[in-house]
Amino acid sequence: NMPQSVRLVDVGPRDGLQNESQAIAVTDKVRLVDDLSAAGIRHIEVGSFVSPKWVPQMAGSAEVFAAIKQHSGVSYSALTPNMKGLEAALEAGVREVAVFAAASEAFSQRNINCSIAESIERFAPVLEAAQKADVKVRGYISCVLGCPYQGEVPADQVASVARELHAMGCYEVSLGDTIGTGTPGVTRALIEAVAKHVPREQLAGHFHDTYGQALANIYASLLEGVSVFDSSVAGLGGCPYAKGATGNVATEDVLYMLNGMGIETGIDLDLLVNAGARINLVLGRENGSRVARAILAA
Ligand code: HMG
Ligand code: MG
């Protein structure tokens, strides 16, 4: 039951850039999003409507939304942890938002300053208002394969949070290996546990590549019938609340693997490599994609 086609959600402009301490001009962020659209990415996470004290880099998200060229058939989404975030997102004309929970209590406190149960309570009015505005809501769960503060996270705990997010109306639940410690066997077991509560077609994999396991975990997820993956062009980023975390798996690397497997994505690898090279130049950063490095060196 290997999927014939896959949707890649490029979270580089959000999950990637949120971790950069240097100021990045709005025009550079806009260029990145526009480059990703032009490369054929169908879902781009553009920014966050969160407290600027917590994540200063995402403070200009409304300006970014105002300036990007929105292609039809492409979803441009943003994180909204509470009603204040949702209201700002709606004002900015955002048509898809995401709420973000954790599977570990310790991470929930550090990331959004409340317990898991409190976060679910906070999300309820966000989902209600979003649905009223005909805005889609995605749900994230962090620390699904390990937590930087509490270590192991039981699959049942992930499954229970996933069930709640799905029941409250999230059209898709993205399972985040925030610290990248997962391996293919536990990834498969996790998906089996979660799929008892949420249909596989509504699950996404969000793998950070800190331990070099992300592509293997994506392959394991494909075997489990998962067909949506979050990735970040040039492997941008990390997580401000998970020390030592590297970026998401690089979109170029995932695409190269999927191309080799004959799985359709609609994305142009060369244009994507150029998009990654351009933002790396802005950031003065080495390319986090092995595939991009190989192509650029050839
Ligand atoms: P809090 O301090 O408990 O919130 O933070 P509060 O309601 O008490 O408000 C405190 C201040 O924040 C007030 O301002 C509010 O107005 C303001 P003050 O009166 O002090 O000037 N505020 C806001 N400002 C702008 N937008 C908002 C907003 N809400 C309150 N939406 C809160 C709670 C959730 C706001 C805070 O903890 C926060 O912003 N956290 C952000 C965390 C974040 O963005 N983390 C990174 C993204 S998650 C991630 O990377 C994981 C993921 O990739 C999956 C994975 O890899 O695991 C998704
Ligand atoms: Mg992440």
**24-43 pLDDT, tens digit each:** 999 999 999 999 999 999 99
Ligand nearest to C-alpha 107: 1
Centre of ligand 2 to C-alpha 236, Å, is 10
Whether pLDDT at 245 is above 70 = no
Average pLDDT estimate for 66-81: 98
Centre of ligand 1 to C-alpha 224, Å, is 34
When pLDDT is cut at 50, 70 and 90, the band that residue 237 belongs to is confident
What would the 3-class secondary structure string for the chain be?
CCCCECEEEECHHHHHHHHCCCCCCHHHHHHHHHHHHHCCCCEEEEEECCCCCCCHHHHHHHHHHHHCCCCCCCEEEEECCCHHHHHHHHHCCCCEEEEEEECCHHHHHHHHCCCHHHHHHHHHHHHHHHHHCCCEEEEEEECCCCECCCECCCHHHHHHHHHHHHHCCCCEEEEEECCCCCCHHHHHHHHHHHCCCCCHHHEEEEEECCCCCHHHHHHHHHHCCCCEEEEEHHHCCCCCCCCCCCCECEHHHHHHHHHHCCCECCCCHHHHHHHHHHHHHHHCCCCCCHHHHHHHHC
**195-205 pLDDT, tens digit each:** 999 999 999 99
Q: Where in the sequence numbering do the catalytic residues fall?
A: 239
| Mean pLDDT (the chain, rounded) | 96
- Which protein residue has the closest C-alpha to ligand 1 atom 24? 51
When pLDDT is cut at 50, 70 and 90, the band that residue 139 belongs to is very high
Whether pLDDT at 239 is above 60 = no
Centre of ligand 2 to C-alpha 248, Å, is 6
Whether pLDDT at 243 is above 80 = no
- Which protein residue has the closest C-alpha to ligand 1 atom 9? 51
Q: Would the ipTM clear 0.85, i.e. be above it?
A: yes
When pLDDT is cut at 50, 70 and 90, the band that residue 92 belongs to is very high
Ion ligand 2: protein residues whose beta carbon lies under 5 Å: 15
What is the reported pLDDT for 240? Answer: 56
- Report the nearest atom of ligand 1 relative to the CA of 239: 50
Using a 6 Å CB cutoff, which residues line ligand 1?
15, 18, 48-51, 54-55, 79, 81-82, 84-85, 88, 100, 111-113, 140, 142, 176, 178, 206, 208, 239
Average pLDDT estimate for 56-84: 97
Q: What pTM does this model have?
A: 0.97
Ligand nearest to C-alpha 79: 1
When pLDDT is cut at 50, 70 and 90, the band that residue 241 belongs to is low
